[in-house]
Amino acid sequence: MFSAQVPKSSGPLKKNYLTSRDFLRAAKDMQNYRHGYPVRECPEERMMNLKFYLNEIKSSPDDVSIETFHTEWRTDYKRLERVHSYIQWLFPLREPGVNYMAAELTKKEIQAFRESDEAKSRLLDSYELMLGFYGMQLLNRETGEVKRAENWRERFANLERNMHNNLRITRILKSLGELGFDHFQAPLVRFFLEETLVRKTLSSVKRSVLDYFLFAVRDKRERRKLVRFAFQHFEPKDKFVWCPRKIQKRFKKKSEKRQNSSAGSGESAVQDEGHSPYKNKDGERNVHSTNKKQLLMRIFQE
């Protein structure tokens, strides 16, 4: 099973977190996704997900069409929370989920989906549906920029109570990347980083944001910017484990230069906080395995 795991605890990181099974599982899962599932066999080319999005078939086992999802389920938050078999249809992946009646994506299906304006438009409708469920709003269907919705307090409370939604959001991010909306990944992850690290909301989501959401971003340049931002706002710095210490030092020097130049010109030292360096002070004494360090460096450089 390749799906992400819900963290057992949202509390402080353990000292040996970098070498823990949870961390390594997350790292390998997201690396496997970004590399296109290199060791997975391709299932039969039935294109069930594309047919669903073209409104030609209904989901199983719920027997609901994509149009019905978008009209009747949009604000039915109790049903969206309670039912667990629809998310695999709305956001398909090349990996199995809990609904064995949902079909996995195939490479040919992904290509056909990306070439279908109808399917992609409906995917964005699905995305907006789930954003509303999580208390967010899509500001721009071109850039993927998101913000808090008016009902964010109520919906954030639901996210805090029901941690299985972390798995759903990981799936959504992966699916966006598969189906032609890679550029939507970074804005969503940036939103969650700001909420968890800057505004100090969504504490139950924080670990998943750092372990999974962040590394679902396929664009390496955007991913590095996000890790920098995460490092800048993460406390305590010596527990930040999401990039190598070598990179942390490099970014720290850049940050100090920026602060010095800003002080000289009277500008804010945090004007570029969205692209701040990330420092992985994870474990001076915690990391004793060269393999673990090499894995982390590979993840950062790929």
Kindly write down the DSSP assignment for every residue of 176-220, as one continuous string.
HHHTT-GGGHHHHHHHHHIIIIIS---TTTHHHIIIIIHHH---H
What average pLDDT does this structure show over 102-126? 97
Give the end of a domain, one of 193, 218, 243: 218
Distance from C-alpha of 293 to C-alpha of 297, rounded to nearest angstrom? 6
For residue 142, pLDDT over 80 is answered with yes
* Residues 39-95 pLDDT 10s: 565 556 789 999 999 999 999 999 999 999 999 999 999 999 999 999 999 999 999
Distance from C-alpha of 75 to C-alpha of 129, rounded to nearest angstrom? 8
For residue 4, pLDDT over 50 is answered with no
Are 206 and 94 part of one and the same domain? Answer: yes
In terms of residue numbers, what domain contains 153?
38-218
Give the end of a domain, one of 218, 235, 267: 218
DSSP labels, 222-262: HHHHHHHHHHHH-SSGGG--SS-HHHHHHHHHHHHHHHHHH
Q: What is the pLDDT of residue 273?
A: 34
Q: What is the pLDDT of residue 8?
A: 45
Are 186 and 271 part of one and the same domain? Answer: no
Distance from C-alpha of 189 to C-alpha of 124, rounded to nearest angstrom? 17
| SS3 assignment, position 3 | coil
In DSSP terms, 77 is beta-bridged to: none
For residue 180, pLDDT over 80 is answered with yes
Rounded to whole angstroms, what are the CA distances from 29 to 1, 64, 105, 127, 225? 10, 30, 17, 23, 21
Contacts of 265 (CB under 8 A, 6+ apart): none
Query: Is residue 61 in some structural domain?
Result: yes
Give the end of a domain, one of 184, 203, 218: 218
Share of the chain above pLDDT 90, in %: 65
For residue 234, pLDDT over 60 is answered with yes
What average pLDDT does this structure show over 168-178? 98
What average pLDDT does this structure show over 256-263? 70
Q: What is the mean pLDDT of the chain?
A: 84
Query: Is residue 17 in some structural domain?
Result: no
For residue 200, pLDDT over 90 is answered with yes
Q: What is the pLDDT of residue 49?
A: 97
Higher pLDDT, 15 or 5: 15
* φ/ψ of residue 138, rounded to 5: -80, 115
- Which value, to the nearest 10 degrees, does the dihedral of the CA atoms of residues 107, 181, 207, 20 take? 30
